Chains A and B, each alone.
Chain A
Amino acid sequence: MNVSFFFEVLAGGLLAGVMYSLVALGFVLIYKASGVFNYAQGSMVFFAALCFVSMLEGGLNFWLAIAITLAVMVLLGVLTERIVLRPLVNQPPITLFMATIGLSFVLEGISQIIWGSQPHGLELGIQDVPMEWLSEKANVNISQLDLFAALVAGALVAALALFFHKTRVGRALRAVADDHQAALSVGIPLQHIWIIVWAVAGFVALVAGLMWGARNGVQYSLTFVALKALPVLILGGFESIPGAIIGGLIIGASEKMAEVYLGPYVGGGLESWFPYVLALGFLLVRPQGLFGEKIIDRV
């Protein structure tokens, strides 16, 4: 077995996993704060990416486009909270989940009506080419873009960790995630908190959209990335930020490895189902994921 090839595959898988983690992060944020499993996260990533790219193509300055897209995502979050979530506040989680499925269809429809359905390229100034000194020195090909994405993800997670643990707002967010009633009773304004959460999730969606868009172009298939985030969440637990990262890494690496090493025996295409079956196997052994909390059934 070629060792350097193995490392290449592993690194590629890990970095792909980072991409999944970025999307999973958005899920975790919203789930932590409102208990809603937001199936529409993928569509939000798509929406953010499309919005940004269209403005760039329209000639807008990079940072201005980011700012405007962020504002749009916040608005989207507020509208979602008001129109979809608030009326369904006491319903079982399954109902909320199905509502977010409906939301994802709405978002996809709207984005394609406004911005059309052709794929758009996204230039971030960093090419998706192997890093030269690595390929020369160690004969290992690792994409520059993927590395950059990993750095961005790392920075994002660090920033989020700081935000949640060091700021007052972050503390309030954690309180809300723990117990809505208790948070209310100490005077934390629930509606504001949810708006902040959806804004942060929107920002994360934007970052994810940018990274994915730069890698694969901004096109409809981006929405299916959300589906890949599901196994990530199952492995990492629905409520854990480090879990989302680690889960993503595991899924990304295992998916790549399976494709490369097992694929030839079964005709390829493993990545369409391998992460799900892996997550399924995991669930059977440990239903709460790596970092989740054990659920006890009381009668």
Chain B
Amino acid sequence: MSEGRLQAAVRAHRIGGVILAVENVSLSFGGVQALRDVSFDVREHEVRAIIGPNGAGKSSMLNVVNGVYHPQKGTIRLQGREFHDMDPHEAAKMGIARTFQNIALFKGMTVLDNVMTGRNLKMRCSFLEQALWYGRARREELEHRRAVEQVIDFLEIQHIRKTPVARLPYGLQKRVELARALAAEPRLLLLDEPMAGMNLEEKQDMCRFILDVNDHYGTTIVLIEHDMGVVMDISDRVVVLDYGRKIGDGTPEEVRGNQAVIDAYLGVAH
């Protein structure tokens, strides 16, 4: 058995019940139908990949899950609760964190500040207490600083913590975005093409970090990815979208052998 398979077998028994279920979701913008009647589920502690050719609706799917887009039809069931219309703020409170395809970092702030914003839902002090910087507010800020420093250590970005993010190279910005998502201690992590635009080394690093997050924190991960090698190696299950429809759902091996999937990628007319 290969190293990857061994790891997969070891991880498999950690996978729990369904925590996210997408049911018959349809989404359109004006005349463009981005998603057609898509249904799949995600189990706790697993790594779920969403793949498909360009324009298949993968990012839209992620946006629906965390409430940035509202589907015209269908529901999202998150930890047992049903949502037709999720609010992004609500999603964050329910423990969903995400990264974006085109980095959505706060360009005017440093790395440390960006990652600290990930802790905002856990901060309890009012602005008055913060203005006085005394007692509870001070303790809270330092406690969260400690937590954030752990994430910074974990992702090996200590050396750039005071650098304004706008000055960082692309690969590091992506890592900072991941750090910010992790700082929120999410139950479900949505990663939108976390390895886009990276070279081989950077990709390997990112893979390692993603797997470590899943191992170490037990975070459920849903990721959109184009690199087939990465998908086959690290994901437990895969969903395949094409033109907004689901055309495949299963383990990487099952999906790899699926004729419809092969056709979609080879561009066979259908």
Binding site for B on A (CB under 8 A): 299
A299 to B100, CA, bound (A): 8
The 4 closest A-B pairs by CB, nearest first: A299-B68, A299-B100, A299-B63, A299-B104
Which chain B residues border A299 with CB–CB below 8 Å?
A: 63, 68, 100, 104
Number of CB contacts from chain A to chain B under 8 A = 4
Report the interface size for chain B: residues with CB under 8 A from the other chain. 4
Give the dominant DSSP class at B's interface: loop
Rounded to whole Å, the gap between the CB of A92 and the closest CB of chain B is 11
What 1/0 mask marks residues of chain B from 38 to 79 whose CB sits below 8 Å from any chain A CB? 000000000000000000000000010000100000000000
**Which residue of chain A is the closest to B29 with respect to CB atoms?**
A296
Q: How far is the CA of A299 from the CA of B68 in the complex (A)?
A: 8
CB distance from B158 to the nearest CB of A (A): 29
What DSSP secondary structure best describes chain A's contact surface? loop
Contacting A at CB under 8 A, from B88-110, are: 100, 104
Nearest B-chain residue to A299, judged by Cβ: B68
Would you give the shortest CB distance from B30 to chain A, in whole angstroms?
Answer: 10
Q: How far is the CB of B187 from chain A (nearest CB, A)?
A: 22
- Residue on A with the closest CB to B100? A299
Give Cα distance in the complex from A299 to B64, angstroms: 12
Cβ distance A271 to chain B, nearest Cβ, rounded Å: 39
Taking CB as reference atom, which chain B residue is nearest A296?
A: B29
Separation of A20 and B57 alpha carbons in the complex (Å): 47
> How far, in angstroms, from A299 to B63 measured CA to CA in the complex?
9
A226 to B213, CA, bound (A): 57
Cβ < 8 Å to A, chain B residues 80-137: 100, 104
CA gap between A42 and B98 in the complex, in Å: 47
A212, chain B: closest CB distance, angstroms: 42
In the bound complex, what is the Cα–Cα distance between A5 and B63 (angstroms)?
Answer: 57
Interchain nearest-CB distance for B35 vs A (Å) = 16
Give bound CA distance, A172 to B18, whole Å.
59
Using Cβ atoms and an 8 Å threshold, which residues of chain A touch B100?
Answer: 299
Distance from A296 Cβ to chain B, minimum over Cβ atoms (Å): 8
A288 to B257, CA, bound (A): 50
Closest B residue, CB atoms, query A298 = B102
Q: How far is the CB of B207 from chain A (nearest CB, A)?
A: 25
In the docked arrangement, what's the CA distance between A268 and B164, Å? 52
Q: How far is the CB of B101 from chain A (nearest CB, A)?
A: 8
Task: Please encode chain B, from 125 to 161, with 1 for each CB lying within 8 Å of some chain A CB and 0 for all others.
Answer: 0000000000000000000000000000000000000
User: Chain B nearest CB: distance from A232 CB in Å?
Assistant: 30
Q: How far is the CA of A299 from the CA of B104 in the complex (A)?
A: 8
A245 to B189, CA, bound (A): 52
Chain A residues with CB under 8 Å of B63's CB are 299
Can you report 4 residue pairs joining A to B where beta carbons are below 8 Å apart? Answer: A299-B63, A299-B68, A299-B100, A299-B104
Q: Mark out the residues of chain B between 172 and 206 whose CB falls within 8 Å of any chain A CB in the assembled complex.
A: none
CB neighbours (8 Å) of B104 from chain A are 299
A195 to chain B, nearest CB (A): 34
Bound Cα distance A299, B60 (Å): 10
A36: min CB distance to chain B, Å? 23
A299 to B102, CA, bound (A): 8
Interface string of B242-259 (1 = CB under 8 A from A): 000000000000000000
Tell me the complex Cα distance, A299–B190, Å.
Answer: 14
A residues less than 8 Å from B68 (CB atoms) = 299
In the complex, what's the smallest C-beta–C-beta distance from A2 to chain B, in angstroms? Answer: 49
Distance between A26 CB and nearest chain B CB, rounded to angstroms: 34
Closest A residue to B30 using CB positions: A296
**Min CB distance, B69 to chain A, in Å?**
9
Q: Which residue of A lies closest to B88 (CB)?
A: A299
- Complex Cα–Cα for A64 and B174 (A): 63
How near does chain A come to B108, taking the closest CB pair, in angstroms? 12
Chain B, Cβ-Cβ closest to A297: B68
The distance from the CB of B54 to the nearest CB of chain A, in whole angstroms, is 16
Identify the closest chain A residue to B102 (Cβ). Answer: A299
| A103 and B30 alpha carbons, distance in the complex (Å) | 42
Q: Which residue of A is nearest B62, CB measured?
A: A299
Give Cα A71–Cα B226 distance, bound, in whole angstroms.
59
